[in-house]
Amino acid sequence: MKAMIVGAYGQLGRCLQAAAPAGAELVTHDLDTLDITDGNAVMAAVTAAQPHILFNAAAYTAVDRAESEEDKALAANATAVGYLAAGARATGARFVQVSTDFVFDGISGVPYAPDAPTAPVNAYGRTKLAGEATAGSDALIVRTAWVYAPTGGNFVRTMLRLMSERPEVRVVSDQIGTPTYAPGLAAALWRLVELGATGIYHYTDSGAASWYDFAVAIQEEALAAGLLSWAVPVIPITTAEFPTPARRPHYSVLDKQTTFVALGAPAPHWRAQLRAMIETIKTNG
């Protein structure tokens, strides 16, 4: 089996490589080797690779900057997805597109099912929703949220740095979602491909939290592991107290039941996955 991974050296891309089944042949591309907004270049790269599976782990993810650069975000998150999907169809490959909880407006009081109406409230969400359309109905589209990994820039690593540098940290407490440990997401993507899944699926870790809850847990786990030497106050604030160019959904918990049934088990709880991440950082730095 040959798999092509685009965005191979981002958080998820690295985890997809690490989670690849034994014997899988990997063809990896990132910004330095493939411009996914160049349709001819994409078709040439996919044709040369002749993969059985094409994972798209690349995206424009600067949520706030997308408000002023929606054209750039659309090029990476939608137009490029169409190019990759076309390349996959031309070579007979399975196409896997990763999407986001930000396709929803956040006004629901219950977790969003895969077939729930979409209504993104920011440019990033609009471009990712457009990417789902260009991926096509024959693709496997997996929406996820709040992804983090031991390497790269993410909320966990940012909190660890701020908690070691500042006398206190202030974190939004009225945005609710679910953290997702990238190694678990990568394993789920490989498994869904193995099962022949197509259409829209939701995957995050189990449970729900606010960003404030997540930050408090990060400090507790890091103190227990010896990654932090002292505790600092974690101050809950409202979204209104932390204005950003892009609106965020206040509630974006995803309903993963159909995915968990397909996988044969629920994802681990986000707190357990956070602990695994902290232990990995402790061991590997």
Which residue of the set 60, 83, 112, 124 is catalytic?
A: 124
The 3 state secondary structure assigned to 110-178 is CCECCCCCCCCCCHHHHHHHHHHHHHCCCCEEEEECCEECCCCCCHHHHHHHHHHHCCCEEEECCCEEC
124 part of the active site: yes
Looking at this protein, which amino acid is placed at residue 177? G
The three-point CA angle 219-222-224 to 5° equals 110
Cα–Cα dist 229/187, whole Å: 33
What per-residue string of b and e applies to 42-64 under the rule 16 or more CB within 10 Å gives b?
bbebbeebebbbbbbbbbbbebe
- Contact by Cβ (8 Å): 11, 148: yes
Residues serving a catalytic function are 124
